[in-house]
Structure 1
Amino acid sequence: MVSSFLSTLHNSLLSRIFGQASAIELIKKKAEIFDNLTYKEYVKNTPGSYFSLFFNEAFTKGEMFFAFLFHIISIIFPIISILATIFYINPLIGAFVLGFILLWTVFPAFFRKFFSKKIQEQLNSLENFNEEFNKKLAKFEAFLFFNKIHLLKKILKPTARNASFGQKSYRFWDEFNNNINLSIRKLFLILTDLSIILLGIYYKNSAQTIVVLVTINSANQLFINDFNTLIVLMINYLSLKSQFRKSKLNEKSAKKILNFQSFNEKIDLISIENLNFNYQDKLVLKDVNLKIIKGKKYLLQGENGAGKSTFLKILMGIERDYTGKITFNSRDLKSISDENIITNISYLDNNPCLIEGDLDQNISFYSKYEARKIEDLINLINLAKLKGKILINYCEKSDLSVGQKQLINFASHLIETKPILILDEAFSNLDKTNSQNLLAWLLKQNITLFFIFHNLDQNLISKFDFQLNFSKNQILVS
């Protein structure tokens, strides 16, 4: 019984601790893929895909990989000793022993309900970590556009840590379930041996016969169990080793080396000549000629899918596979790096990004600004009632409405005072009064504004310097 308990503890806990520690180190190393990930490369996959990549490829398989290795080493010695013993005996086990084998195979089923409930609880917990990780990873765009991408790993770390403990708990109960069943089988094996001894004494068999029967029964069953375990572990170990070699986590994610030149100027003029762009063999923009003048306000109008967001992504350097020529001042856009573009352009869409912390921390977004500047923006968005409150915790839980989140996100971009501001449905969840007041304020600022918003009042439309109408792959200026 002591041996069975130690075996259960070893198989379900010690090997998993070894595996978990190694897997966590693997995740830390592989998280570096975000450092060199461009926006265009990032959006090829969903946040859920990245969660799966890390916690299936790196953690789950990584933990199993290292645990298998540890487990294989731990069972080699009992296999050798059992194998040495069995060479000295001849198999002869009666119907009574067979009956006990069937009994100890069926008996563990009574424990399944309890362990199944425990395992399901751990699986539900892991689902919550999945959702939390996805929400945090969805902030990639904001961290990229704020030029704070190196901090993304910091907010992912608590979730990864909690998920690792969740995985450990799940694995413990899963393995404990399997190993307690094995221990029960070993208990029945002892009872079988005891029965053989008693029957042997009752029928006056020789001591040598009884010893042979007990040895055969014990050695045969233990050897079969451990030998089968070894074969399964070896197959899984080799399979996981092969999977790791082919895993996406081993792919090099370094950015393409482009002929970028230093660009530290403020953008006064954007010139677009004969711009053409295709997306998946579908023509989106054709022969576009346009000049974007510093300080002017541009309203982008057109049906969904007409190319408004695509046009803005081209200006931001996200989409570079266009033909024609675009220059910032006199510099070709294709020669300007993403980082230099981001220093000039703020981009907001309808998916606001909040970070763990209070209102001031969310507006400053990991940077330092004067308290007065933050206070002015809080008054502008009319959210002074939230000052000092934690807006979102590390589990991504928040009581804020989407509209409030959009206001805070708006303020966090304004504080950077970049010369060009892009609002792509960024006011979609604001009430009419708030959206009109903020837009009226923006129209008075000395910035270049690109604004996408449906159902805008005519009196506000008339206040824009230019309307860019997207229709039939063209941009018509009015």
Structure 2
Amino acid sequence: MRRYLKRNKWHFFLAGFICLLSALATLFLAYVMKYIMDVAISKDLKLFYRAIILSLLLIIIYVLLVYLKGIVNAVFLKKVMVMLRSDYFKALMNRNIFDNSNPSKYISVFNNDISLLEKNYLENLLLIISDLFLIVICTIGLFLTNFKLALIVVLINILSIIIPVIFSKQLSLKQEKYTKVLNELNIKFKDYLMGFELIKANNVINKIKTIFNTKEIEHENSKQKVRFEEAKINALSSLSSIGTNIITILLCIYFVITGRITIGTVVAINNLVNNITNPLNRLFVEIATVKGTRIVEQKIISFIDLHHCCNNDINYKEPINKIQLEKVSFKYSNKLILNQIDYCFKKGKKYILVGNSGCGKTTLLKLILMYFNNYEGEILYNNKNAKDIDPTSIFDQIAFINQETFIFNDTLKNNICLFQDYDSKQINEIINKTGLNQLVASLPEGLNSKIKENGANLSGGQKQKIAIARALLKQKEIIFIDEGTSNLDNLSAYEIEKIILDSKAMIISITHHLKKELLEKYDEILVLDQGKIIESGS
């Protein structure tokens, strides 16, 4: 987190400076209390009126400082959190496309772990700075008031804080354990929500409830241990605080009896001691809480660093004229999916992949699209090895129509255009070609109508038409289709596939619509079996 403190150093320093001013105001408040008490004993009305004015001025200054402190802290926290969340999101977007980690893990980090850093690290860091300034300033004030008494009080405080220090390490360990358990619970919760239909259909609800309840009990037990440890430290801190106050008062009374200090000085010393012991007692819990975020901080920062920038691969801008596969083999979980594939796909040609389910058709498309890079052999784009090319530069030249269409919780227009700007005439033309005009007409705000999360208010066929519209709108020279019309009726599928095949793009398609009129439009039909191209021809 230090990098974010450095990047916001002026706001951080300003927050610290306000803490210093607040500590000085607290010191002056103690001296004003001393002055008021001495005035009361002197019974001088002129001094009393002066004390009232002085008190009001100090109260106004103190309240303004408290308000200003809250504003500065809020601005500082906002800036740091915007940077942290933005960096984390950028890192997520910079991941390799073949990273198939559970999305719930990233959601848990974004929603919980980063918020935990804000609360337990950043907010506590500001409290630590505030308490440190208060301790230092009030200790200096105490020594200036009465050196001998201050020396005795400081020695007593040093002895009283030893016990909380011993237990603060245990609190840090328990907080780290709690953070880990909370993260595991969130992942389980997300999994069960996403898999609700599967759970319901297979009647394993009771089993899932049992697993979740066990995890929730573990979570609450972990949280309870943290609370118990905090209660122990707070109790010991309270004991030391009360003991220090009583001893301080007894010492002050002794110094008053012996004529070394006034009653006003007793009030000031008591006020200063409270503003030393109370922050001291808080300080150990605050420091332990900050230390408890170490694992979370390391996890987030390591992830950001790992995906901080794009790799050093070639940003390939040349138009792709051919895609060459040379002895390409691929295993998934030790199972051979593709076996020694040799083939060359050429610009403007149309190819269809056929074969039984599991023969490797989809895997072949995904390898060409760089979804995986742990294959044997070579995939060449214009004789340039795919492993040496930045995948994003290839995605700029290829449109992919997949069977599974992801829909954003956004407008229909943004779902079609994928947040890019296109001419409205071009958009309407594609809408008519793909048959989305009926959907647009049925929505209350047409293209600007909001689509529910993952297209909950759309049919499978409508989602697939959106995927096809995305591909056609891009006007790419290469189009990959993986059962891209499987959810459409035969007539709609035929019309859309005909439109795609009539384009000048290189087409590599997997489809179950094998009408003679469409097959005649393909230049090559590739038959796959057990991971090999066993036959090719027109």
TM-score higher than 0.5 here?
yes
> What per-residue deviation string (whole Å, max 9, x for no partner) do you get for residues 181-213 of structure 1?
x9xxx9xxxxxxxxxxxxxxxxxxxxx9xx9xx
Instruction: Tell me the residue number matched to 2:428.
Output: 375
Map of 1:133-172 to 2, 5 A cutoff? Answer: none
Q: Separation in 2 of the partners of 1:395 and 1:222? A: 53
* Equivalent in 371, 375, 379 of residue 322 of structure 1: 375
Instruction: Tell me the residue number matched to 1:50.
Output: 106
* Equivalent in 332, 342, 356 of residue 302 of structure 1: 356
Map of 1:38-437 to 2, 5 A cutoff? Answer: 38-40=96-98, 43-76=99-132, 228-241=281-294, 243-246=296-299, 247-253=301-307, 254-258=309-313, 260=314, 262-267=316-321, 269-293=322-346, 294-304=348-358, 306-354=359-407, 358-385=411-438, 386=440, 388-392=446-450, 399-437=457-495
Contact 2:402 2:482 (8 Å CA) reproduced? yes
Change in Cα spacing, 1:336 to 1:63, as seen in structure 2 (3 Å) is same
Q: Separation in 2 of the partners of 1:361 and 1:412? A: 10
Change in Cα spacing, 1:431 to 1:391, as seen in structure 2 (3 Å) is farther
Q: Separation in 2 of the partners of 1:239 and 1:275? A: 48
Change in Cα spacing, 1:242 to 1:437, as seen in structure 2 (3 Å) is closer
Q: What is the one-letter code of the residue matched to 2:394? A: I
Q: Separation in 2 of the partners of 1:295 and 1:36? A: 32
Q: Aligned residues: percent identity?
A: 21
| TM-score, scaled to structure 2 | 0.54
Q: Separation in 1 of the partners of 2:410 and 2:111? A: 26
Contact 1:327 1:333 (8 Å CA) reproduced? yes
Contact 1:272 1:288 (8 Å CA) reproduced? yes
Q: Separation in 2 of the partners of 1:430 and 1:63? A: 50
Instruction: Tell me the residue number matched to 1:100.
Output: none
Contact 2:352 2:508 (8 Å CA) reproduced? yes
Contact 1:18 1:66 (8 Å CA) reproduced? no
Contact 1:276 1:286 (8 Å CA) reproduced? yes
Instruction: Tell me the residue number matched to 1:194.
Output: none
Contact 2:413 2:448 (8 Å CA) reproduced? no
Q: Separation in 1 of the partners of 2:122 and 2:452? A: 29
Once the two structures are TM-superposed, the CA of residue 71 in structure 1 deviates from its matched residue by 1.9
Deviates more, 1:418-427 or 1:366-375: 366-375
SS, match of residue 344 in structure 2: strand
Once the two structures are TM-superposed, the CA of residue 411 in structure 1 deviates from its matched residue by 0.8
Change in Cα spacing, 1:222 to 1:371, as seen in structure 2 (3 Å) is closer
Contact 1:278 1:322 (8 Å CA) reproduced? yes
Q: Separation in 1 of the partners of 2:381 and 2:87? A: 38
SS, match of residue 355 in structure 2: strand
SS, match of residue 474 in structure 2: coil
Change in Cα spacing, 1:452 to 1:391, as seen in structure 2 (3 Å) is farther
Instruction: Tell me the residue number matched to 2:9.
Output: none
Contact 2:351 2:526 (8 Å CA) reproduced? no
Once the two structures are TM-superposed, the CA of residue 284 in structure 1 deviates from its matched residue by 1.9
Contact 2:328 2:342 (8 Å CA) reproduced? yes
Once the two structures are TM-superposed, the CA of residue 424 in structure 1 deviates from its matched residue by 1.8
Q: Say which one has the larger Rg.
A: 2
Once the two structures are TM-superposed, the CA of residue 233 in structure 1 deviates from its matched residue by 1.2
Contact 1:421 1:448 (8 Å CA) reproduced? yes
Contact 2:401 2:484 (8 Å CA) reproduced? yes
Change in Cα spacing, 1:76 to 1:272, as seen in structure 2 (3 Å) is closer
Contact 1:284 1:473 (8 Å CA) reproduced? yes
1:26 and 2:84 matched: yes
SS, match of residue 323 in structure 2: strand
Change in Cα spacing, 1:266 to 1:14, as seen in structure 2 (3 Å) is closer
| Backbone CA RMSD of aligned residues | 4.9
Once the two structures are TM-superposed, the CA of residue 32 in structure 1 deviates from its matched residue by 3.2
Once the two structures are TM-superposed, the CA of residue 324 in structure 1 deviates from its matched residue by 2.6
Q: Separation in 2 of the partners of 1:226 and 1:10? A: 20
Once the two structures are TM-superposed, the CA of residue 361 in structure 1 deviates from its matched residue by 4.6
Q: Separation in 1 of the partners of 2:455 and 2:281? A: 46
Contact 1:262 1:336 (8 Å CA) reproduced? yes
